[in-house]
Structure 1
Amino acid sequence: METLLIYLIVGAVAGTIAGLFGVGGGLIIVPALVLVYTALGIPAEILTHMAVATSLATIVITSLSSIRTHHLKGAVDWRVFLSMTPGILLGSWLGGVTAHLLPGAWLQLLIGIFALVIAVRMWRAGRRPATLLADGEKLPGGPFLAGVGGVIGWASAIFGIGGGSLTVPFLTRCRVQMQRAVATSAACGLPIAVAGAISFAVQGWGEPQLPAWSSGYIYWPAFFGIVVASTPFARIGANLAHRMSPQLLKNCFAGLLCVIGARFIWLNAGLVLGH
């Protein structure tokens, strides 16, 4: 019962932060689950893989609600989505395979570096003037979009995220309006999460150190606790966001990512270099 409460708290915090900062919860869920799994005594060799896999599984559920909301507003560019999806599915599956081959310390180190990169990008983006560009102008062709989708899916599966921090910048660079970029990115998060979660389940199947109630690296008690709590708290976070300065919110979240990234790098750099 106490463990379920912990996962409910993780879901509540992740949902609130996702609503506040307009990002997917994976950037918070993965580090939080790493801490929880460590405290519960789950072996270091598999706990990071479990955190990433479980995060991807929760995104399958949370992305459905997000897609529906954006679709009803007519904001999803389904042509771009369909062009990127084949690459995303393949890339996400390969991301699960890649993560399975990495030791836990390497995986945590990469997640830490990724968190710092996203934090720096958020600070830099806040200092550039916003521009509204013509929708769809200079959008690449289908094969190129599929290739980019593969890279985004691969990286997103490794980090346990829905890919918004990668897909949105790519689409805006292709001169897609920000609203449509965000909505289309939300739709792309579903195939990322589905393929990535299934890949992690398959790669971890039969792992002798996994606890009960696991399907491969997906740990269902954490999944259900996070899903139950994250959705209502995301609405609370979104309501709070409208009462605060957008720039202050970005700076706060970037600072939080810096702390998370620095901690992961500090704890694992020595282990990686020692090998």
Structure 2
Amino acid sequence: MSLLDGRLVLELLLLGSIGGFLAGLLGIGGGMILVPFTSWILAGRGVEPGLALKMAIATSMAMILFTSISSVRAHHRRGTVRWDLVRGLAPGIVGGGLLAGAGVFAMLRGQALGLVFGLFVALSATQMLLDRKPAPTRQMPGPGGRAAAGGVIGFVSGLVGAGGAFISVPFMTWCNVPIHNAVATSAALGLPIALANVSGYLIGGRGLDNPVPGSLGYLWLPGVALLASASVLCAPLGARMAYRMNVGQLRRAFALLLYGIAAHMLWKAVRG
């Protein structure tokens, strides 16, 4: 089966451009846009829907290896990345990501993954839209709490192929980290999330009978290359735009985007 044609190349480049822009703007790694659309593209070309979703999740996560670097450089130049938080959360992220990618991901059916994706995205959107103010004295937890939080972020990210911002941004703002710092720090967390989960997908996908040309287990390598090349160019544009918007606009944009994606994935999962 040949999946790469001129139309597909254009679709992936456009999708990668949108995902990269949103990665810079909202710190979401682009995964929550890329997963449903990449899954739809693969399924429309004859890939079994459950496998298409798993490949879309793995491909999206692999792409974050490239987009997170581009996005975080733009945020770092503005001095908004909290590297102390990155260091505290990263060990748990690596452990949780390996557990998800190397074990649980391979065992779950595509429909179950779709439900997990939709429910967690909807929950995150609600948290952002309600904008509940944390207690003035609430701060980020200590080393043990940060490692545990990182484990949850890495594990759930591995199941849905996203950069973790749908958990890490609400978590950090709940702990009184300003929204722009939370978004920038989340972008920096995308790299350890992607490294751990991609390693897990390669381990979990060993021996997979995959009919898609150019795939390595769950990873669709041509898709990664096209999506990443467009995303890396557009991520800095989104990061610059983030600093021209006020906090309220950024929060509402994030929440509305997540609601739309959650509704789409839940509808598809319920339909089976």
Q: AA paired with 1:224?
A: A
Alignment of 1:216-227 (within 5 A): 216-227=217-228
Q: Identify the residue that residue 30 of structure 1 maps to in structure 2.
A: 35
Equivalence map 1:188-267=2 (5 Å): 188-237=189-238, 247=248, 251=252, 254-267=255-268
8 A contact 2:55–2:219 mirrored in 1: yes
Query: TM-score when scaled to structure 1?
Result: 0.84
Partner Cα distance (1:241, 1:105) in 2: 34
Pick one of 19, 30, 51 that aligns with 1:46.
51
Using structure 2 for the length normalisation, give the TM-score: 0.85
How far did 1:243 drift? 7.3
**Aligned residue type for 2:110:** G
Change (3 A) 1:174 1:267: closer
Question: Is residue 41 of structure 2 the alignment partner of residue 75 of structure 1?
Answer: no
Letter in 2 for 1:113: L
Name the structure 2 match of 1:142. Answer: 143
Alignment equivalent of 1:122, drawn from 117, 120, 128:
128
Separation of aligned partners in 1, 2:248 and 2:35:
25
**Secondary structure of 1:140's aligned partner:** coil
Match of 1:172 in 2: 173
Q: Report deviation, 1:252.
A: 5.5
Report the counterpart of residue 154 of structure 2 in structure 1: 153
Once the two structures are superposed, residues 94-141 of structure 1 have per-residue CA deviations (whole angstroms, 9 ceiling, x without a partner) of: 12121211101111121122232233233212xx57x9978xx74322
- Aligned pair in 2 of structure 1 residues 20, 74: CA closer, same or farther (>3 Å)? closer
Distance of 2:141 and 2:256 partners within structure 1: 34
1:78-93 aligned within 5 A: 78-93=83-98
Identity, % of aligned positions: 38
The 8 Å contact of residues 20 and 67 in structure 2, kept in 1 or not, is answered as no
Distance 2:183 2:128 in 1: 15
Amino acid at match of 2:69: L
The answer to whether the aligner puts 1:8 opposite 2:13 as a matched pair is: yes
The amino acid that maps onto 2:66 is I
Amino acid at match of 1:187: A
Q: Distance in 2 between matches of 1:12 and 1:168?
A: 22
2:110 matched to which residue of 1? 104
Contact kept? 1:75, 1:183, Cα under 8 Å: yes
1:147-190 deviations in Å (ceiling 9; x for gaps): 11111110111111111221122223333344433333222221
State the number of aligned residues.
266
Query: Within 2, Cα distance between the matches of 1:92 and 1:84?
Result: 12
Aligned residues of 1:53 and 1:201 also touching (Cα < 8 A): no
Query: How far apart are the structure 2 equivalents of 1:21 and 1:71?
Result: 15
Segment of structure 1 superposing worse, 205-214 or 243-252: 243-252
Provide the C-alpha distance between the structure 1 equivalents of 2:174 and 2:253, rounded to a whole number of angstroms: 25
Q: Is the 8 A contact 1:133 1:176 kept in 2?
A: no
Aligned-pair distance for 1:228?
1.2
**Cα distance per residue 1:194-237 (max 9 Å; x no partner):** 10111112211221134121122111111111111123233445
Q: Deviations over 1:30-87 (max 9, x none)?
A: 1111111111111223111111111111111111123333334443333332222221
Distance 1:183 1:219, change over 3 A: same
What one-letter code is carried by the residue in structure 1 that aligns with 2:222? P
SS in 1 for 2:58: helix
